[in-house]
Amino acid sequence: MSIDLVVNALKSIAKPAASLVINQAQRNETVVRLLKEFKFDPVQPPKDVDGVYVYSLIEYGVGQPEAILNLFREREIKNAFWSAYTANNPLGFCKEVEKFLQGKDLEFDIRLLRIDLRVELEEFGEKFIEVAKKSGSIDFKPFPEWNLDEYPAEFKSLIREKIRSFCGRKFVFDAFKQFCDTNRSGYFTVVGDAGMGKSTIAAKYVWDNKSPCYFNILSDGRNRAELFLESIRKQLIKRYQLQNAEKANLADLLEQVSKKLTDSDRLVIVVDALDEVEQETGGNLLDLPPSLPERVYFLLTRRPYTRDKKRLSAPDVPVEELDLRGSQYIDLSREDIKEYIRFFLNDDQDYKNSIRQWIQDRNISDNDFVEQVATKSENNFMYLRYVLPGIAKGEYNDLSLKQLPDGLQEYYQVHWQRMGMEEKPQEVKVFILFILVEIGTPIPCEMIAAIAEQDEYEVQVVLDEWVEYFKLQNIKGENCYSIYHASFLDFLKVKRILDSKRKLFQEVNQRIADYLIEEMA
């Protein structure tokens, strides 16, 4: 089977001229047609390595740009893939591909198209494993875990979503670099209010440096010391090929890694949202070690805290904090905010045209829009994450620039009022939101409806109406909902307290208790 003939066939329908591949159904039809054209059975793949490689390339390659197809036709890439597959070393494959591309025109073509190479290599590998399993041949066992990033798959979507429109924050990374350059080890903490971009800073550092990481997420229940240790342990074992470390504690793991580091190496572990950690036992949050080996650093983020909630004691280790609220960072943060607004105005493919139309309809200059929205944001990226798409979607067509809400909390309040949440007929909606606040973990629509004693369809309408504030996850086959961001959770908790005169949240808690008792009966 000539791989060149297959690639040429795929290139005939490659992006951007992939007019035939409009939707998934048509794509599937194209895949089946090509498989038959090259004498493959669309139901039963071949059992040999070369056949599975070409079969996988057809299933993966329909609609892919020519640059990627040209990459996978290279014999060196095919050999490197099989070597990495049999050695269960997907990261090795990535490094070999990067080495192969260095200085070649193909590397320039891939960069020009802004192709995320690791994503494509991972997608092809996963497709190959899928086809290999269908082939039924024992030659492909054991099937490797095809993850091309050092950080866990569970955080990939979060990291990619956070960095999609990343702007600025150079002063934070410069400060952390200086900390590492001047200290042999240590803890560096970025402190800031909700919405100031702490998680995005963490995600950007992980993305750029492929650092081991852990993102504490209260709404997912992913915020306990034992889960943190399990995740970091797996990452360090995989990255440094540690032996007999399956039950090692964090201090022992770091000691093992430090012995493998050269004088020019560093281990940086990124931990986001220490403030969301749930830990009843004393000592440091997440049981972070009070001492660290040389060349081992932690980049931490957290919201402002009181002294009794710091819970990070490391008397013999350098410890430094960068508080994003500090007066010395106000101007730098404002410049980052303005850069973020300009990104939405000029570069964001989803929103730029609608936002530009909004400001043109009001005879506002680009500069005035950027300056005034930056002022209203109070240097809060979360505010912009809601307001700028809201402008693009027409949610503020009845408002002028000056009438836009000031700051994140006022944004929530304005939205609350615009949704009529203070009115009696909306009480069911408030009730549903309070259920999510009180439960605190992802739950399905069916459970919400049972607690609220409402029709499931009506509850789903409310969830859809507030979709931008909820995180939707599929847990054991069920779509489950939780509050998306800590700042909105804080806002709802205040609403819950202020609403105590109507005893609504007490009723929510009683209904939850009744539901749980009934379920256990």
Give the tens place of pLDDT for each residue, 378-425: 888 888 888 888 889 888 888 888 888 888 888 788 777 777 777 766
CB 93 within 8 A of CB 84: yes
CB 406 within 8 A of CB 387: no
For the chain, the structural domain boundaries read 3-135, 153-325, 330-407, 420-520
Helix, strand, coil percentages for the chain (3-state, nearest 5): 60, 10, 30
Give the residue ranges of the chain where pLDDT is below 70. Answer: 1, 14-25, 149-150, 424-425, 496-502, 521
DSSP line for 111-160: HHTT--HHHHHHHHHHHHHHHHHHHT-GGGPSPP----SSS-GGGHHHHH
3-state class (DSSP) for residue 300: strand
DSSP line for 194-232: TTSSHHHHHHHHHHHH---EEE-BGGGTB--HHHHHHHH
CATH 1.10.10.10 fits 420-520, yes or no: yes
CB 39 within 8 A of CB 94: no
Distance of CA 303 to the CA centre of its chain: 19
CB 441 within 8 A of CB 221: yes
- Taking the C-alpha atoms of residue 219 and residue 88, their distance in angstroms, rounded to an integer, is 33
Please report the pLDDT score of residue 179 as a whole number: 97
pTM of the model: 0.69
Q: Does 420-520 match 153-325 at the fold level?
A: no
**Radius of gyration of the chain from Cα atoms?**
26
Please report the pLDDT score of residue 501 as a whole number: 42
Kindly tell me the sign of the dihedral angle through the C-alpha atoms of 136, 141, 142, 143.
Answer: negative
Please report the pLDDT score of residue 15 as a whole number: 52
Give the tens place of pLDDT for each residue, 137-178: 999 999 988 877 667 878 888 888 888 778 889 999 999 999
CB neighbours (10 Å) of residue 414?
17
Residues 6 or more apart from 251 whose CB is under 8 A from it? 289, 291
- Taking the C-alpha atoms of residue 116 and residue 121, their distance in angstroms, rounded to an integer, is 9
Please report the pLDDT score of residue 150 as a whole number: 67
Residues 6 or more apart from 197 whose CB is under 8 A from it? 169, 324, 336, 381
CATH superfamily of 153-325: P-loop containing nucleotide triphosphate hydrolases (3.40.50.300)
CB 23 within 8 A of CB 75: no
Size of the chain in residues? 521
Strands 470-475 and 478-483: antiparallel
The residues pairing with 222 across neighbouring beta strands, listed in sequence order, are 217
The residues pairing with 251 across neighbouring beta strands, listed in sequence order, are none
Please report the pLDDT score of residue 1 as a whole number: 59
Dihedral pair phi/psi, residue 297, rounded to 5°:
-135, 150
